[in-house]
Structure 1
Amino acid sequence: MTLDPDRAQHPRSELAEALRSLRRASGLTGARLAVRSGMSQAKVSKIENGRVLPSALDVERILRALDVPLGEEEAARLLELTRVANTDYQGFRTALQRGLGETQRDLAAIEASASAIRFFLPCMITGLLQTPDYARQTLSHTLVNRGASWETALARRLKRQTVLYDEGKRFVFVLTEAALRWPLCRPEAMAVQMDRIASLSELPSVDIRVVPADPPVPSGPLNGFTVYDDRLVTVEVFTGKLALRDPKDVSYSMEIFAFFHEHALEGENTRSFLRDLAQEYRNRA
């Protein structure tokens, strides 16, 4: 998933050039660096030519092989550059120019390529779980579409949901009670939305869990995110979307996910919670 290749290309080329220059200044050949860093010579060459984007772990191994202390300013600069190079950002204006429907096509492609997808949802219900009413409300508001056409995006979002029936995949959703109680639609529509989530939780490929407001969780959620296998994390904000590929970012996101997963209701307890909440919404209708 390359969100903004033009922005990403500069730090990638700068990183490749800096690592190549550092290796040459040390007097090591590419072959010798490969031996000392435990990488193949081909990988070292591709990193230095900008054909392979190294992770932070790769860069740390290279720095150690070149006897550059990780606490030095140059090492810190290169590791920060690595993190930037491993992060793509797509602003909402770019998404609007491409069309909201194309964003749904991109998401479908990523979902098709992953075998395990984890969603942490502290604020809203994600597209794969949405009813048509909820999905329509999320896309039709001008804060989201800025006046752009959204009908194709709605159809594609609903079509994406068929991936949940693929038993060769694994989907884990952790939602907070706050996300479920945000009254995005009228009460009767929210009740149907709760019923929909409860129904999907019974699919063999789907695990849905809810973090209740009580008992309190000893840490608060700063943002939602999605983890695709162990290779990619995406984070949505109002102004755009981040894609993080650095293994350390992925690992930390998995740690955060595991924390909230541990504090969540599961199985029949989740379904009971959702049924009770659906009845609350119906009582308000």
Structure 2
Amino acid sequence: MTLDPDQLGQSKADLAETLRTLRRRAGLSGVRLAQRCNMSQSKISKIETGKTVPTLVDVERILRALDAPAGLIAEVGALTRIANTEWQDFRSMRRKGLEKKQSELADLERMSAEFRFFLPTIITSLLSTPEYIRATLANVPGDHSQAISRKLDRQSVLYDASKRFTFLLTEQAVRWPLLPRPAMAMQIDRLVSVSRLPSVRLGVLPLAGHVPLTPLNVFTVYDRSLATVETSTGVMVLKDARDVESYLAEFSSYEAHALWGDAARIRLEEWAQLFR
């Protein structure tokens, strides 16, 4: 399936209209379809009016109840996955103000309890020193003082005992020389410090050894309900359960090859020493 960002807004309306049309063609009322699907009639109504975006499982239940052919199920399933995907391009974020994106992330972190961060290229702002955060925005035009301040404010969530964070960084992400050498050493020291927080589990993937996997993107999974995938031009927000499970499985595969706890801290301290 090719993902065209221009489709993402329209796809929700298209999906609602498609499901409504298929029900009518089958000669079923909303009440009768709800009974066949074991859903509430109000849920069917919200799906058909676009007020609720159904999951892929919901859509498959509806299509089976309508005796839809396999080809149609696949076609509508593809539309459902697009409808459950949100595209946030960086240019739009910059126009609106990067501090607004930080507020959105803070809200998401407030509502979630378990987090998994896979960081193959860069250190997330939750783990960053102020110098590192400033360096990540150095090539972005404008005054980002508010965005930097909010990035630093968000770090307080790491001290919330009700939450659990798992950070997995590659050696490349840790050692990429974004800052002068003394500042890079301080940044790595911060990783060691944060790794000792009760709410944090931090692992590293050294370049030495054999890792038969091919990471492509930075991604984060919030609980088991949402995943964000970062590219060089924007962020995809995935809400379909199967997409989220796919990223959870990928994260688990990387976990098995990583160093954790004291072993991770020893390796981080070695890398920090190389910058001193």
Equivalent residue for 1:104? 102
Select which of 229, 248, 253 maps to 2:223: 229
Select which of 191, 197, 208 maps to 1:203: 197
Equivalent residue for 2:183? 189
1:5-24 → structure 2 map (5 Å cutoff) = 8-24=8-24
Select which of 76, 94, 111 maps to 1:78: 76
Q: Is 1:115 aligned to residue 117 of structure 2?
A: no
1:17-56 → structure 2 map (5 Å cutoff) = 17-56=17-56
- Alpha-carbon deviation of 1:108? 1.1
Whether the 8 Å CA contact 2:7–2:82 is kept in 1: the answer is no
Instruction: Return the alpha-carbon distance in structure 2 between the equivalents of residues 56 and 270 of structure 1.
Output: 39
Instruction: Return the alpha-carbon distance in structure 2 between the equivalents of residues 106 and 188 of structure 1.
Output: 33
Aligned residue for 1:120, secondary structure, equals: strand
> Structure 1, residues 119-156: CA drift from partner, whole Å, max 9, x if none?
0000010010001111110012x2xx2x1221111111
Whether the 8 Å CA contact 2:112–2:223 is kept in 1: the answer is yes
1:126-137 → structure 2 map (5 Å cutoff) = 126-137=124-135
Equivalent residue for 2:275? 281
Q: Is 1:175 aligned to residue 173 of structure 2?
A: no
Aligned residue for 1:104, secondary structure, equals: helix
Instruction: Return the alpha-carbon distance in structure 2 between the equivalents of residues 199 and 93 of structure 1.
Output: 34
The one-letter amino acid of 1:156's match is: R
- Alpha-carbon deviation of 1:38? 2.3
- Alpha-carbon deviation of 1:8? 4.2
**Matched positions, count:** 272
> Structure 1, residues 7-62: CA drift from partner, whole Å, max 9, x if none?
64421111111101101111222222222222222211111111110011111111
- Alpha-carbon deviation of 1:77? 2.1
Whether the 8 Å CA contact 2:219–2:229 is kept in 1: the answer is yes
Whether the 8 Å CA contact 1:100–1:149 is kept in 2: the answer is no
Q: Is 1:158 aligned to residue 123 of structure 2?
A: no
TM-score normalised over the length of structure 2: 0.95
Question: Which range moves more in the overlay, 168-177 or 32-41?
Answer: 32-41
Select which of 85, 88, 106 maps to 1:87: 85
The one-letter amino acid of 2:131's match is: D
Question: Which range moves more in the overlay, 196-205 or 7-16?
Answer: 7-16
Whether the 8 Å CA contact 2:31–2:41 is kept in 1: the answer is yes
Instruction: Return the alpha-carbon distance in structure 2 between the equivalents of residues 169 and 104 of structure 1.
Output: 19
The one-letter amino acid of 2:214's match is: G
Equivalent residue for 2:235? 241
What percentage of residue pairs aligned between the two structures are identical? 49
Aligned residue for 1:10, secondary structure, equals: helix
Equivalent residue for 2:3? none
Instruction: Return the alpha-carbon distance in structure 2 between the equivalents of residues 46 and 9 of structure 1.
Output: 17
Instruction: Return the alpha-carbon distance in structure 1 between the equivalents of residues 237 and 195 of structure 2.
Output: 27
TM-score normalised over the length of structure 1: 0.92
Instruction: Return the alpha-carbon distance in structure 1 between the equivalents of residues 195 and 38 of structure 2.
Output: 44
Instruction: Return the alpha-carbon distance in structure 2 between the equivalents of residues 103 and 54 of structure 1.
Output: 26
Whether the 8 Å CA contact 1:209–1:270 is kept in 2: the answer is yes
Instruction: Return the alpha-carbon distance in structure 1 between the equivalents of residues 117 and 69 of structure 2.
Output: 37
Instruction: Return the alpha-carbon distance in structure 2 between the equivalents of residues 193 and 76 of structure 1.
Output: 47
Q: Is 1:217 aligned to residue 211 of structure 2?
A: yes
Listed as ranges, the gaps of 5+ residues in structure 1 are 1-5
Select which of 250, 258, 262 maps to 1:268: 262
Listed as ranges, the gaps of 5+ residues in structure 2 are 1-5
Instruction: Return the alpha-carbon distance in structure 2 between the equivalents of residues 116 and 219 of structure 1.
Output: 24
